[in-house]
Amino acid sequence: MANGNSGAAGTLETGGYDSVFFSASDGLRLHAADYGRDNLATRDRLPVVCLPGLTRNTRDFDDLARLLSTDPKTPRRVVSFDYRGRGRSAWDKDPSRYTIVIEAEDVLSGMAALGLEHAIFVGTSRGGLIMHVLAAMRPGVMAAGVLNDIGPVIEGAGLAQIKAYLSRMPHPKNWADAAQILAEAHSKSFPALSEADWADFARAIYVEKDGQLVSDFDPALLHGLAGVDLSTPLPTLWPQFEGMRGMPLLALRGEHSTLLSSDTLIEMKNRVPSLQAVTIPGHGHAPILHLSGIPEILTKFFASVDKQRRH
């Protein structure tokens, strides 16, 4: 394990992937999970960069990344990032720096450290917002994009639900309790999930520290949510979304999502007719990408991207 300086990456080998540490432009130590980079069979295909939601981390993509990187026919290198203050990345002493723009810059630093010039991006929730920012900052890094339950319009009601839940997240006694807490809070939006899925969900969200299970992010991250005025319409990102029209795009929407409305998805399709849009039954915000046939949807989309690049 290496700290990394001036953007240099240090690597720790773990089961199934390389745990890579690199430096942000301000020197903060950040983490990425890198799957399949030593597999020569992945070299001729676009890698996939996965960006998680607001308080989430690389573990959200672990099952999907293993499936994609070990696909017997079309294996791909997959890199997922822990933003600053989440997962295995360092916490920022200045919480005002937990912003989408700075996180987008961190992603670019990580790509440079890992030697990724461009990739297919998969952005869940906040990760999709970072893609909107990259479309304005550095569109060339994105060869194609998957927006997972996010678009240029964020529904205030959905954000209010997230804000309320995060502000009162209970502290589970053990892993079984953690799975039960999550199921009780989200099962109406995610009827497709099994008991085993909720147990996996818990392992992605919580981490054990000093003998207790805690959420795997800096609590100061929620300061930014506290200042959001949900009584007025939230700013939209239509120009940034339309900045992605030049690349293949796929939008996934959870059937029960309260953050991405069906009306917004229709308008996204109207503005970018080439957009492929799929609604995932039995999921809310945001669809869990290794379940409910989503890997097959993604693999088919990735194959179409490869085909377009060859012609």
Segment-wise mean pLDDT, segments of 10 residues, the chain, 311 residues: 44 79 98 96 95 97 97 96 98 96 98 97 98 96 98 92 84 96 96 98 96 95 81 88 96 97 97 98 98 98 92 74
Residue 310 confidence (pLDDT): 82
Residue 7 confidence (pLDDT): 46
Architecture of the domain made up of 10-155+234-310: 3-Layer(aba) Sandwich (3.40)
Is residue 37 within 8 A of residue 119, CB to CB? The reply is no
In the chain, what are the domain boundaries?
10-155+234-310
Omega cis (within 30) before 9:
no
Looking up tokens 């720790």, which residue turns up? Answer: 12
Residue 161 confidence (pLDDT): 87
H-helix segments, the chain = 62-69, 100-114, 126-137, 156-167, 175-186, 195-205, 223-226, 238-242, 262-271, 294-310
Is residue 122 within 8 A of residue 51, CB to CB? The reply is yes
Tokens of residue 225, six digits: 């949510």
Residue 110 confidence (pLDDT): 98
Residue 9 confidence (pLDDT): 64
Residue 4 confidence (pLDDT): 36
Tokens of residue 12, six digits: 């720790």
